[in-house]
Each structure stands twice: as C-alpha cells, then as structure tokens.
Amino acid sequence: MKLKKSNFVLFFLSLIGLASFINTIKKALLNGLDFQWYPAKLMWSGINHYQHRIYGNIEYTSQIGEYAHGLFVILFPFTFVDFEIAKNYWLLINVLLVLIIPYLISKNYDLNKKQILLVTIIFITAYPTRMALQWGQQSVFTFFFFILPFLFKSNLSYFFSGFSYFKYSLGYILAFNFLVLKKYKQFLLTIIPSLIGWLVYSYVTNSNILECLFDPIRLITKTGFAMTGQGQLFGIINEFIIFDNKILSMLIKIIIVFSLSLLVLVYINKLKDDEIKFPLIAFCPLIFTPHAQYDYIFLIPLLIYSIKNFSKNFSKINITFIIYYYYINRLVKHLINDDMIYSFFIFSIFVFILMLNLNKNLPKKNSL
C-alpha cells in the first residue's frame, strides 16, 4: 500500500519535532533559571521577597519574583527540595502541559488527528515554547489555566482559571473579559485564588496586609523589570511617557493600556463567529501589556482556529504570520540593530492581524 505524500510529510515533521523536543528538554535540564523557587523559598521562610528585593538584595538575579502572591504560595511543595531538583520537577509539569494544551484546544475546535499532530509539532518546536521550557518560565503554567474557561463551562474551571492571574500581565485580560460580558459570578470565582494567595502570603511573612497587596507593583516600579518589551503598547509608550514621579507615570500607562484593552474586548464580543473570540482574547495581551518571547505561546489558539478555517484567506494570513513569528522572527530581529524600530514593526503587524480578524467577523454595520 502506497504511503500518501501528506502522511510521509507528517511523519518526517514528527521526527524533526521529536528530535527538537528532546533537545529542548536536555537544554532545560541544564538551565531553568527563571523558575521562581527562590522567592517562594523566602516567602515560606517568613520573608517578604518583594521587600527583600526592593531593598537591594539580588540573590538569584533571574528570579525577581514580580508575579502575584498566589504563585509563591502554590510553589510551597517545591521549597522542600534544592533548586536543581525543584526546577526539574517544574520542567516535568511544563512538558506535560505543553503536550496537553494543543490537544485540548484542538479537540475543542474539532480538528482531526492529522491536524492535531501538526499543531502539536508546531507548538513544541516553536521558539517561544522552547524558550519557556528551557528557562523554566511560568508562561506555560499561566496559559494552561487561562484556557480553561473557554474549554470547560463549570465553576471549577472558572476558579482554577484564576491561577492565570498570578502572571497578571497576561491573565488580566481574562478578568476584563468576564467584566465586559457582565459575568460577575464567574469573575468573582476567578479572583478567589489571588485573594487567598495575598492573605496567606501576608500571614506567613507577617506583612502589613494593605502594603503587601501593592508589593508586586512596587517591585516592578522599583526595578523597571518588564516595563519594556518587543512589540507591545505598554513598552512603546513607556519610552515616551516619562515623569519624575514613577507612580504617576505607571498609573497613566496602565489607564491607557487597560482602556484600550477593554475597548477591543467589547468589539471581540460582538463578533458573529463565536469560535474566533477565544483566539483574539488570548491575542490581546501580546499587543497591550509587557511580555517576553516565551509568552507568544498565546498565539496557538489563533493558529488552531485558522487551520480549521484554512479555506478563508484571512486564516492563511494568520498562519503565515504565526509561522513567521514562531520560526523566523528572531532571525530578522538580529538583522535590525534598532530595537525601537523593530518593536514598532512587530506592534504594527499585531495590530494589523487583530484588525483583519475583527473586520472579517464583525457584522457589516459594526465593521471597523
């Protein structure tokens, strides 16, 4: 029996994908330095790691601990072992999630087995995924909980989706979406993990409960970490809105970014095609708020939607853009010496993709 050409190509890609994935895991075993073990260790030792860092202590420089309180609370089990062991456990969890995420989303969009395999190969070989695994980042963990309410309609999924708020620069868009939809019960369920995390953190570190609430913001304001980044609005306006008063400067930027995020969410929820809503909601943080290369795993829902709707021209454009970003982007970036120029370039492309998908799905009278 003759092997179909498409089957041969898929088999060949599978071999490449497997080899790439194994190589990524090998590198991750030697790295994983961004896993937030040290801040969690401090926290469970009774030390407020936010204030510890704000006042100049810089041990484990890659583990700044700018995330919300809840992350360090749930990392409690990892604090019983040394960092070298803890980061490998974290890697194992992330590897499992990297395999589960494309499968769950693809099944939700009724992709066939070959399409699911193709999506999985793309996801595990994409530069953002490989980078997230190698550095022990929290992006895969965040993304897994972020997708839950779009796949499962239950109070339990809403509750656990709140774990995505721990990386608030990405998870915030989910909270905003519930507010735009006026789903206040679901919104309240999602914020419970963050509330519990904040209260437990305050208690264990014996911190003033109100001061502790704002410690994450104080930390990123003090260090300037994640204020800039490639191709997102917050990083761009951060270059132009500068005041001596850092708090005022931060407040103005947050108001601008959050206002535009809410406006776009209103348009997304007017779309006639319900299936495009989830991919575009996941797309929003990549346009508006600080993030790094590993956070572009949030593009995978748009890729899956576009594969399902491949016959549509705008879906082909989506796929071309995502493949470019997953495999070619960093090569082009190295050729352009000016980071700001390239940031504007990427931001413009992201805005174009967003507008393209909105225009193709909004009712005619509401078209942008």
Q: Is residue 267 part of a domain?
A: yes
> 106 with 116: CB under 8 angstroms?
yes
Closest CA to 264 of 334, 162, 357: 357
Average pLDDT value for residue range 17-28: 95
Share of the chain above pLDDT 90, in %: 70
Q: Is residue 6 part of a domain?
A: no
| DSSP string across 223-252 | H-TTS--TT-HHHHHHTT---S-HHHHHHH
Q: Is residue 336 part of a domain?
A: yes
Tokens coding 182:
């006026």
pLDDT, residue 54, reads 83
> 204 with 43: CB under 8 angstroms?
yes
Q: Is residue 215 part of a domain?
A: yes
Q: Is residue 7 part of a domain?
A: no
pLDDT, residue 291, reads 74
Closest CA to 132 of 167, 176, 107: 167
Cα–Cα distance, 25 to 19 (Å, whole number): 10
Average pLDDT value for residue range 135-164: 96
Residue 1, classed as helix, strand or coil, is coil
pLDDT, residue 225, reads 54
Angle between helix 277-288 and helix 300-308 axes, rounded to 10 deg:
140
pLDDT tens digits, one per residue of 70-98: 999 999 999 999 999 999 999 999 999 99
Cα–Cα distance, 59 to 65 (Å, whole number): 11
Amino acid at 365: K
Return the sign of the alpha-carbon dihedral for residues 36, 39, 44, 49. Answer: negative
Strand blocks (E) in the chain = none
Residue 109, classed as helix, strand or coil, is coil
Q: How many residues does the chain have?
A: 368
Q: Is residue 221 part of a domain?
A: yes
Tokens coding 145:
């909980």
Please give the residue range of the domain that contains residue 78: 27-366
pLDDT for residue 148 is more than 80:
yes
pLDDT for residue 366 is more than 50:
no
Q: Which residues contact 315 (CB under 8 A, 6 or more apart)?
A: 305, 306, 307, 309
pLDDT bucket at 254, cuts 50 / 70 / 90: confident
Number of domains comprising the chain: 1
User: Which of 55-69, 97-111, 141-155, 310-324 shows the lowest per-residue confidence on average (mean pLDDT)?
Assistant: 55-69
Rg over CA atoms, the chain: 21
Closest CA to 232 of 176, 177, 298: 298
Q: Is residue 2 part of a domain?
A: no
pLDDT bucket at 7, cuts 50 / 70 / 90: confident
More confident residue, 356 or 247: 356
pLDDT tens digits, one per residue of 199-246: 999 999 999 999 999 999 888 877 765 545 566 888 778 777 666 666
Cα–Cα distance, 244 to 238 (Å, whole number): 13
Q: Is residue 86 part of a domain?
A: yes
pLDDT, residue 232, reads 80
pLDDT for residue 43 is more than 50:
yes
pLDDT bucket at 184, cuts 50 / 70 / 90: very high
> 121 with 12: CB under 8 angstroms?
no
